[in-house]
Amino acid sequence: MAHTTNTPLPTNIEILKDQQVILNGYDFSSVKNITLNGGSLAFNVESFSKNNFTGTINIGPNGGTIIIDPNGVGITTFPITIRYVDANGSPTNIIPDFRINIQNINPKSIYDPVLASFDGTNTVFGYNQPPLPDVPKPCGPSIIFAGDVFGIQSHTYSTFPGIVYPDGHLGILIHSKPSYPCFLQGTKILTPEGEKTVESLKRGDDVIISKDGQKVTQKITWVGTKTVIAKGEETYPVKISKHALETNVPNEDLLITSEHCLYLNGYLIPARMLVNNRSITIEQSHSSFHIYHIETEQHSLLIANNTLTESFMNTGNKNSFDTAENIITFEASYKQDVKNWETDAAAPLMTERAIVEPIFRMIEQRAQTLGFENNSPEIALTTDTDLHLVTDSGKSLYPTHMKNGWVYFSLPQSATYAYLASHTNKPAKCFGPFVDDRRDLGVCINNIVVTQNKEIITLNSFLTESLPGWSNVEGNSYRWTKGMALLPTLPAAKGTNMRILAVKIQSVLSYPEKVSHANKDLSEKHLAAKKRLAS
C-alpha cells in the first residue's frame, strides 16, 4: 500500500509480509509507531526528517526491508527511535534479520560500500566511513541514529559491512549474532521406526524423546533449515566424536552448531563450552553447511546419534530459517508460539563455570584415556600487555615507567586525545571454553589521572561515559578495554608544563605472543582518513 499526501496517516502503522508502505512528503505528527514485521518500509530521508515524525520504528521478529532514499543527503541525524519487539509487540533484545537498502547510489561510484558502525554513542550508517570515531564526519552520505540501534556492540566486531543486492542497490544485512542451535545434515534422529536423518523428517512425524528418564513419543510441529556460511570460529560446527561422552554416545560422530545444547548431568549445555580439541572439536573444514532443526509439541530431549540433545525452542528466531519442499514455515500462530528458557525448557540452560567446568574436565579426561589426539593449536601465551598510547597524530607512545600497578606516559604538548592500546584475548580462550565470556578484552582499568604542574586531574568519567573501545562497566570501579579504547578528554596543555598520564591496572589476561599489527594498521587508517577529510 502507498499513501498519497492527502491521506491522513493512522497513529499506528503495521507492515506485514508482502506489504509495502511508501512514506514520502507527509505530516508524520499523528504517527506514533511504525511496526515492520515482514514487509518493506520506504522513505526519503530528507522528507522523513522534515515532516515531524517523533515516533518509533518497531522491527518485529519477521524482520523486513527498510528502503532509504538519501536524496542527496550529506550527513543527517535521524530523529527517530528504532527498537525491536517480539511477536506480542513487547520490547526485546533479540534482533531479527532484516535488510536496509540504499537507493540512488551507484555501487560503482566513488563511495566505498556502506557500513554501519557504533561509536559508543551513535550508530553511523553511511559511506566511506572513517576508521575511528573521533574523525569529525564520514566522507560520503551518512545517516546518524542515536544509540546502538543495530546491536553492533553485542557482536564481536564493530561494523556491519555492506553488500550489493541483486537489484544493484547498495545496502546492508543486519543480522543477529549467529546462534542457531541446529543439527547438520546427516544427523540421525530416533523415531518409532528407528533412526532417520534429520533432513528426511517432516511435520506430523513422530520422534522418540526422553522424558523423566523414559522414552516416549512426540509429534514434530515444525521443521526448519538454513544454509550457514561460516564467518569466524563461533560459526563453525562442533563435532562430538563417537564415544566422546560414553561408550556409543554418540554412536557415530555428531555434528551440531556451537550453540546447540547437549543434555548432561541434568542440564542443557552449549556444545561450544565443551570443546576440548580432542573428542569434541571445532570443524573448520565446514565453511558452508546446511543445518536443520525440528520442533516438537513441547521443548524436549531428542536422541540424535544416540545422544540426548535439545529440540528446537522458538525464542523469537524462527524467522531466520528458510523454507523448502518439506520445510514447514510458521504461520499466524507464531504470535502465540514464542517460548522462553525459564518456563518452557525441557531442562535448565547452564553456562555457569562452577557447573560446566567439572563436566568439561570429565569429558576431557575420558578423551585422554581413550587416546584421542590433542588438536589444540600451539599458542604461546604471555602476560605482557603491550600497553601503549596512540595519540591523535597516530604516534604510538610506550610507558616511561610502571610502579605498584600504575603505568605512566608522558603526553606530547600537541596531544588532544589518545587511545589506550594493548593486546587482546577472550576469557574463553584464556581460561577455557567453560568460561562463558567471549568478549575480546585488553586490560582492566580502575583509575586514570593526569598530572600537570603539581595539579592532579582525575579522568574517571570512563566508568560512566559511552566511549569507543571500552567494554561494559563492571561494578562501579573498573572497566575492561577492547584493545583500543578512547580515553576521556585530556586536559589542555598549559604552556610548556609536562603532562603525565597514569592508568591503574586492575587485572590483565594472558595474550597470544604472536599478535597482529591491528593497532598499528588502525592508527595508519586513522591518519589516512584525516588526510582524506582535509583534501
Beta-carbon count within 10 A of 8 CB? 8
Tens digits of per-residue pLDDT, 34-48?
898 888 888 776 666
The domain made up of 183-370 has a fold known as Endonuclease - Pi-scei; Chain A, domain 1 (2.170.16)
User: Residue 380: phi, psi to the nearest 5?
Assistant: -75, 135
pLDDT for 82 = 80
Beta-carbon count within 10 A of 71 CB? 16
**Ordered DSSP codes for 84-127:** EB-TTS-B-SPPPPEEEEE-S--TTSSSPPPEEEE-SSEEEEES
237-257 average pLDDT score: 97
Tens digits of per-residue pLDDT, 279-289?
999 998 887 88
Indicate if the pLDDT at residue 54 is higher than 90. Answer: no
pLDDT for 49 = 60
pLDDT grade for 332, boundaries at 50, 70 and 90: very low
Give CA separation, 369 vs 27, 245, 362, 366, 477, in Å. Answer: 72, 12, 11, 5, 45
pLDDT for 133 = 43
Q: What percentage of the chain exceeds 70 in pLDDT?
A: 70
pLDDT for 333 = 35
Distance CA 214, CA 195 (A): 18
pLDDT for 100 = 72
The domain limits of the chain are 12-174, 183-370, 381-534
Indicate if the pLDDT at residue 104 is higher than 60. Answer: no
Tell me if 185 sits within 8 A of 199, measured CB to CB. yes
Residue 354: burial class (beta carbons within 10 Å; 0-12, 13-18, 19+): exposed
Top-confidence range, 136-140, 247-251, 344-348, 464-468: 247-251
pLDDT grade for 142, boundaries at 50, 70 and 90: low
Contacts of 344 (CB under 8 A, 6+ apart): 298, 299, 313
pLDDT grade for 102, boundaries at 50, 70 and 90: low
Top-confidence range, 230-234, 261-265, 411-415: 261-265
101 pairs with which residues across the strands? Answer: 67, 171
The residue whose grid cell reads 524467522 is 319
Cell numbers standing for residue 350 = 547452564
- pTM here is 0.66
> In sequence order, which ranges of 196-322 are alpha helices (DSSP H)?
none
Tell me if 198 sits within 8 A of 225, measured CB to CB. no
Indicate if the pLDDT at residue 452 is higher than 70. Answer: yes
Tell me if 198 sits within 8 A of 271, measured CB to CB. no
249-274 average pLDDT score: 96
pLDDT grade for 203, boundaries at 50, 70 and 90: very high
pLDDT for 457 = 92
pLDDT grade for 179, boundaries at 50, 70 and 90: low
